[in-house]
Amino acid sequence: MSALVFAALYMIGDPVLMLASPEAGDAERELIRQSFGLDLPLWRQYLIFLNKVFVHLDFGKSFLTGEPAIGLILDRMPATLELATAAMLFAVLIGVPLGIYAGLKPESFGARSVMTGSVLGFSLPNFWVGLMLIMVFAVFLHWMPAGGRGPVQAFGPIQLSIFSWAGWRSLILPVATIAVAKCALIVRVTRAATRECLPQDYIKFARARGLSEARVLGVHLLKNILIPIVTVAGLEYGQVFAFAVVTESVFSWPGMGKLLIDSIITLDRPVVVAYLILTVVFLSLLNLVVDVIYTILDPRVQSKARA
Amino acid sequence: MTAAENILESGGQPAMRESMLRLFAEQFLASKLAVLGMILLALCLCLAIFAPWIAPQNPFDIGTLNIMDSKLPPGSVSGDGAMMHWLGTDGQARDVFSAILYGLRISLIVGLVSVSAAFAIGATAGLISAYFGGRTEALLMRIVDIQLSFPAILVALVLLSVLGKGVDKVIYALVAVQWAYFARAARGAAIVERNKEYVQAARCMSLSWQRILWRHIFPNCIPPLMVIATIDLAHAIALEATLSFLGVGVPVTEPSLGMLISNGFEYMMSGTYWIAFFPGIALALVVVAINLVGDHLRDILNPRNEI
């Protein structure tokens, strides 16, 4: 995988042309090439890179700023994390109740509207939703800023903007942009799971025991439909990191995604490679976490694995 | 062709096939939303195909543009009084309505071509891996798994940064990210069909594997693939728009809907909303129309009724 990315990026172009000032002569260009190790053959560059990554956890330095690539990305990470987490939280909090409702009364007008709305939600391109939100809330109504990140406050080493009203104001539009699409997906998963669960005996039994509807739905149903919801929400959380590329560009949100686009445009190879590898690691970790949560939610999975 | 073979390949009596088709049409027409989507889609196709005859102006013909007419609001008359700009004009005095028609053309071509190519490649890979199994299957499906574990937008972004700009390059990138969905679906469907009696019968007649694969198994795998193709068409159009919006998609000389929106984005902040707004509406209409059709197709053709 890393070899693929490395080779692909090697073909993009010659970063020396971007780095050297236009007046620089051939001798100076050659000097730059040597100081970055770009004069070596591709496979040597790749081996050096592998050695650095796995032995020293060093992804190289950004060609543009000279700072370590990994540091640049980690600097931007809290902004993206904040965005993705807030968006996923909203999507689940809104999507699950709507999905249960749509699953309980599949033929009602409300449920049909919810389902049609969800088709809209996940079929509309992400940047389109962001654009429309900017147009309505920032350009016409002037309620929210059109882009950028509001004031941030340090929370330990991490800078977050959720502690102030102004921070929330600039957070809410990008969060809504991502949440719309994810919410639509969660509504559909929840609805499908609810419809599958409802005819089961334990629901009928809980009803027969005379339990309140709230308890039947909130405890007996919810516990069982949580498994598919957690899977989808977990995997989508990883996807949000990638989707953030688009949303961050629309709102000029200073996160990892914006950094990736900027680095692709300026041919800043080490940053792109480091970003992709971090994303792969992150997605694998997320899969692991989802699997662990599985066993906590559903004891059957554990016993099956032991048997 | 022997008589037995004839029956095998016709899929039963002709009368029965006809009624299946009628049943399908009846089911499809039962959903008003899907019919609405179909009508909208047909309308968009007509507009795109007949763009040069419908459009009041050729937006690529610089000679007909009058710079005094730039940024006119919707519904204003051009400077020489010859033409009504129903949807206004953009920064270069192009009629927005005409630009949308031509943009629709490019968006639809990119979508249709990339989905057809992805369908062909994916279905071949899926059928072959299902039919032969073993190492071929393991290898092909591992590639599919790796590919699907990456968010489509990321793969497309990195690919395009290697390939450069251009309509053909966007199509390559879209095929590269989409074939895997078809491969997975084709394999899933073909594995079910592989062990059915009609395939065994065809094998007994010692037909060549190509013939069994394409004339016997493939026709029975078409329904799930059609569902994927419809939904992927919407996905491809949205993805192309996103890539063009981010500035890595189609070149400026061939503006698709995404490119038009991207052009209008700069003007939006100053309240000149129509340059980005109307192409955005057109994009949303196309994507939603295709999704409404696809959503209903899935309900009809997939008895399992997944999310």
Please tell me if residue B268 touches chain A, with a CB cutoff of 8 Å. yes
Task: Compute the average pLDDT of residues A8-35.
Answer: 55
Query: Are B158 and A276 in contact (CB < 8 Å)?
Result: yes
CA–centroid distance for B237 within its chain: 6
| A90 and A220 belong to one structural domain | yes
Highest mean pLDDT among A140-144, A260-264, A294-298, B239-243: B239-243
| A194 and A239 belong to one structural domain | yes
Q: What is the pLDDT of residues B194-205, one digit of tens each?
A: 888 888 888 888
Written as one letter, the residue type at A112 is: R
Question: Who contacts A9 (Cβ-Cβ below 8 Å, separation ≥6)?
Answer: A269, A272, A273, B158, B162
pLDDT at B3: 47
| A107 and A206 belong to one structural domain | yes
Compare CB distances from A127 to B161, B242, B287 and report the shortest one's residue.
B242
Query: For a pLDDT cut of 90, what percent of chain B falls above it?
Result: 5
- Which backbone phi and psi does A66 adopt, to 5 degrees? 80, 0
Q: What is the pLDDT of residues A43-93, one digit of tens each?
A: 666 666 666 665 555 666 666 666 777 777 777 778 888 888 888 889 899
A159 Rama class: left (phi>0) / alpha (psi -120 to 50) / beta:
beta
> Residue B35: is its pLDDT beyond 50?
yes
Q: What is the pLDDT of residues B121-168, one digit of tens each?
A: 999 998 888 888 788 888 888 888 877 777 788 788 878 877 777 888
Q: What is the pLDDT of residues B260-301, one digit of tens each?
A: 888 777 777 776 777 778 888 888 888 888 888 888 888 777
Contact status, residue B137 vs residue B130, Cβ threshold 8 Å = yes
Please tell me if residue B33 touches chain A, with a CB cutoff of 8 Å. yes
| A18 and A138 belong to one structural domain | no
Query: Are A139 and B153 in contact (CB < 8 Å)?
Result: no
Compare CB distances from B306 to A9, A119, A192 and report the shortest one's residue.
A192
Number of domains in chain A: 2
Query: Are A5 and B158 in contact (CB < 8 Å)?
Result: yes
Query: Are B158 and A265 in contact (CB < 8 Å)?
Result: no
Cα separation, A99 vs A194, whole angstroms: 8
| A184 and A41 belong to one structural domain | no
Residue A61 resides in a domain: no
Identify the CA nearest to B248 among candidates B181, B170, B131.
B170
pLDDT at B163: 76
Of A199, A215, A249, the one marking the end of a domain is A249
Query: Are A125 and B265 in contact (CB < 8 Å)?
Result: no
pLDDT at A29: 60
Residue A291 resides in a domain: no
Residue A64 resides in a domain: no
Question: DSSP letter string over B262-298?
Answer: HHHHHHHTTT-THHHHHHHHHHHHHHHHHHHHHHHHH
Residues 200-239 of B with CB under 8 A from A: 234, 238-239
Please tell me if residue B136 touches chain A, with a CB cutoff of 8 Å. no
> Residue A162: is its pLDDT beyond 80?
no
Q: What is the pLDDT of residues B82-123, one digit of tens each?
A: 666 666 676 666 777 888 888 888 888 899 999 999 999 999
Residue A301 resides in a domain: no
| A15 and A157 belong to one structural domain | no
Please tell me if residue B284 touches chain A, with a CB cutoff of 8 Å. yes
Q: Which of A123, A232, A247, A276 to mutate to test the interface with B (most CBs of B within 10 A)?
A: A123
> Residue A304: is its pLDDT beyond 60?
no
Q: Calculate the CA dihedral of residues A280, A283, A287, A288 and round it to 10 degrees.
A: 70
pLDDT at A305: 54
Query: For a pLDDT cut of 70, what percent of chain B falls above it?
Result: 79
| A42 and A155 belong to one structural domain | no
Largest CA distance in chain A: 86
The helix (H) or strand (E) run that includes residue A153 is strand A153-155
Cα separation, B9 vs B213, whole angstroms: 12
For residue A192, list chain B residues with Cβ-Cβ distance below 8 A. 305-307
| A97 and A47 belong to one structural domain | no
Query: Are B268 and A189 in contact (CB < 8 Å)?
Result: no
Compare CB distances from A249 to B158, B241, B246 and report the shortest one's residue.
B246
For residue B248, list chain A residues with Cβ-Cβ distance below 8 A. 264
Task: Compute the average pLDDT of residues B176-185.
Answer: 88
Query: Are B238 and A135 in contact (CB < 8 Å)?
Result: no
Q: What is the CA radius of gyration of chain B?
A: 23
pLDDT-based confidence at residue A246 (cuts at 50, 70, 90): confident
Cα separation, B283 vs B290, whole angstroms: 11
pLDDT at B117: 94
> Residue A31: is its pLDDT beyond 80?
no
Secondary structure class of B254 (helix, strand, coil)? coil
pLDDT at B251: 78
- Assigned token pair, B135: 């190492």
Query: Are B307 and A134 in contact (CB < 8 Å)?
Result: no
Tell me the residue range of the domain where A177 lies. Answer: 83-249
CATH number assigned to the domain comprising residue A197? 1.10.3720.10
For residue A279, list chain B residues with Cβ-Cβ distance below 8 A. 154
DSSP letter for B196, please: S
Q: What is the CA radius of gyration of chain A?
A: 24
Residue A295 resides in a domain: no
> Residue B183: is its pLDDT beyond 60?
yes
Identify the CA nearest to B81 among candidates B54, B72, B277, B55.
B72
Task: Compute the average pLDDT of residues B6-35.
Answer: 65
Of A249, A280, A302, the one marking the end of a domain is A249
Query: Are A261 and B291 in contact (CB < 8 Å)?
Result: no
| A191 and A230 belong to one structural domain | yes
Identify the CA nearest to A82 among candidates A158, A2, A187, A157.
A158
- Assigned token pair, A153: 């406050």
Residue A264 resides in a domain: no
Cα separation, B205 vs B202, whole angstroms: 5
Burial of A226 (C-beta count, 10 Å sphere; 0-12/13-18/19+): middle
Pairs of CB atoms within 8 A across A/B: 98
Greater pLDDT, B13 or A193: A193
pLDDT-based confidence at residue B306 (cuts at 50, 70, 90): very low
pLDDT at B200: 84
Cα separation, B250 vs B152, whole angstroms: 17
Task: Compute the average pLDDT of residues B42-53.
Answer: 81
Greater pLDDT, B2 or A63: A63
| A121 and A14 belong to one structural domain | no
| A21 and A112 belong to one structural domain | no
Identify the CA nearest to A30 among candidates A20, A43, A22.
A20
For residue B153, list chain A residues with Cβ-Cβ distance below 8 A. 242-243, 245-246
For residue B277, list chain A residues with Cβ-Cβ distance below 8 A. 135
* Sign of the alpha-carbon torsion through A288, A293, A296, A300: negative
Query: For a pLDDT cut of 90, what percent of chain A falls above it?
Result: 0
Of A249, A284, A301, the one marking the end of a domain is A249
Compare CB distances from B287 to A123, A140, A265 and report the shortest one's residue.
A123
Contact status, residue B225 vs residue B119, Cβ threshold 8 Å = yes
Cα separation, A211 vs A216, whole angstroms: 6
CA–centroid distance for A25 within its chain: 43
CA angle A77, A83, A86 (to 5 degrees): 130
- Assigned token pair, B125: 């890979």
Residue A286 resides in a domain: no
Contact status, residue B286 vs residue B237, Cβ threshold 8 Å = yes
Task: Compute the average pLDDT of residues B241-255.
Answer: 80
Residue A41 resides in a domain: yes
| A48 and A92 belong to one structural domain | no
Tell me whether 0.95 is exceeded by the ipTM: no
